[in-house]
Amino acid sequence: MLNQGIADIARALVSGEYSSVEITQAYLDQIALHNGELNAFITVTPEQALAQAAAADQVRASGNAGVFTGVPIAHKDIFCTAGVRTSCGSRMLDNFIAPYNATVVEKLLNAGAVMLGKTNMDEFAMGSSNETSYYGPVKNPWNRTLVPGGSSGGSAAAVSGQLCPAATATDTGGSIRQPASFCGLTGIKPTYGRVSRWGMIAFASSLDQAGTLTRTAEDAAIMLGIMAGFDPKDSTSVDLPVPDYCAQLNKPLHGLRIGIPRQHFAQGLKPEVEIQIRAALHEFEKLGATIKEISLDNSHYSVAAYYVIAPAEASANLSRYDGVRFGYRCAKPVDLEDMYKRSRGEGFGAEVKRRIMIGTYALSAGYYDAYYIKAQKVRRLIKDDFVHAFTEVDVIMGPTSPHTAFPLGAKTKDPVAMYLEDIYTIAVNLAGLPGISIPAGMVNGLPVGLQIVGRDFDEAKLLNIAHMFQQATAWHLLTPGA
């Protein structure tokens, strides 16, 4: 029961193999048994989950159930959930009870989803290892001495560790795809604007995008089909129709043109990871695709540009946490200035403070043109590289990460090394493109992820490609300890 994904659970609910209450209780029992060792959940909502499951069973009995009715999931603790704490992994919001649901949460709730709880994350989504959380680091279910990736590490560990069948997540520079790679999951970051950001606590507004962490591409297609779509409450939401992602999953790949960036197979990529990625590419050739080497000439600037743009936007977004209106407030401030300083100093963790300082510096008088504007110009060059590449190929493939999951604490004292974790994923966010990571091999008992990048709003093609690969391979079926 617990090793099933969304599609399997939906079919079992339709057949009456078990009820939503039964599957929900099974996952709640699993969370009670194993969350202590994984630290994947910040908040668990058993009473609410069982009430939603019972309501879903009644809807199913009435004959009005949809595909998602009664399916239990978890939400990354960056999405506002009415009446339930939304902490964003920070002391700053440890006591914040959201008065409304994020659009993503509301859409899934309306589709009949059951919320098991809220998952752990790097503080304000700033991190690549899920070690900056106020609630402590998340452990990788494949090896509890290793990180699960970040910032959506709690969602990844919960799904990989069989504490839930699927979870929402967000991706600002790789925070869905890198954890998917480290935990052996399918993680999709849609095109910027495809999924509403309303009610999703902001880190870097021009980069943040909501997505999913699931076992399979089929599960991702089901879940994304519910989450996607125009939202008038989000000014960055794009008013385009959402295709039926599931309807296109089985389209043959004959004639697919795959681009391989030479920059992603250069120094820094672990040889054992490259072997697995090359083998996955050969599998696509057997499915009828052709492989062509391409160049993303400006991709080596992506990390530098990102760590100017993202902190600058974070500096502006996080200025609202001042101890006045909501969130953490220091004890017994002597005056207003003392309250501002101590509330922010005590409420934010070290990595968040570091990025606020970098961003404030980059936006300051005399440095705005030299750093922020220049980074935005580089961003345009990176986007142009992708535009040119897609005149020659249909999708771009390569490793999601240059290595497998690394040990807890290995990079916490070296911020630059941590920033380089997203070296293959950041450019996709800067360009606003959709990207998906899928399991594509194993190295020393740990998963390897293959990243697939597509044109704007071409999520259907990415899901189709991922699904056909998963029909031909079994990497996505492997689970920790199996």
How far, in Å, CA of 187 to CA of 457, rounded?
16
Tell me how crowded residue 97 is: count the other CB atoms within 10 A of its CB. 13
How far, in Å, CA of 422 to CA of 414, rounded?
14
Strand residue runs (E) in 136-224: 166-171, 186-189, 209-214
Residue type, 297: D
H helix runs in 186-238, sequence order: 217-227
353 Cβ neighbours under 8 A, 6+ residues apart? 345
- Tell me 59's DSSP state: H
Backbone angle region of 120, left / alpha / beta, with phi > 0 → left and psi within -120 to 50 → alpha: beta
CA 135 centroid distance within chain: 19
Reduce the DSSP state of residue 389 to 3 states and report it.
Answer: helix
Q: Which of 19, 87, 90, 175 is catalytic?
A: 175
Q: Which of 151, 152, 155, 160 is catalytic?
A: 151
- Tell me 286's DSSP state: H
Reduce the DSSP state of residue 195 to 3 states and report it.
Answer: strand
**Catalytic residue status for 235:** no
How far, in Å, CA of 363 to CA of 74, rounded?
36
CA 89 centroid distance within chain: 15
How far, in Å, CA of 395 to CA of 389, rounded?
9
Q: Which residues pair with 171 in a beta bridge?
A: 209
The pair of structure tokens assigned to 142 is 């494949």
**Catalytic residue status for 175:** yes
362 Cβ neighbours under 8 A, 6+ residues apart? 308, 311, 312, 315, 368, 371, 372, 375
Crossing angle between the packed helical segments 459-472 and 271-286, to the nearest 10 degrees: 90
How far, in Å, CA of 438 to CA of 96, rounded?
34
**Catalytic residue status for 353:** no
Q: 249 and 221 in contact (C-beta within 8 Å)?
A: yes
Q: Which of 20, 76, 152, 196 is catalytic?
A: 76
Reduce the DSSP state of residue 261 to 3 states and report it.
Answer: strand
Tell me how crowded residue 433 is: count the other CB atoms within 10 A of its CB. 24
- Which H or E element spans position 438? strand 435-443
How far, in Å, CA of 134 to CA of 153, rounded?
14
- Tell me 369's DSSP state: I
Peptide bond into 364 cis (omega under 30): no
Active site residues: 76, 151, 175
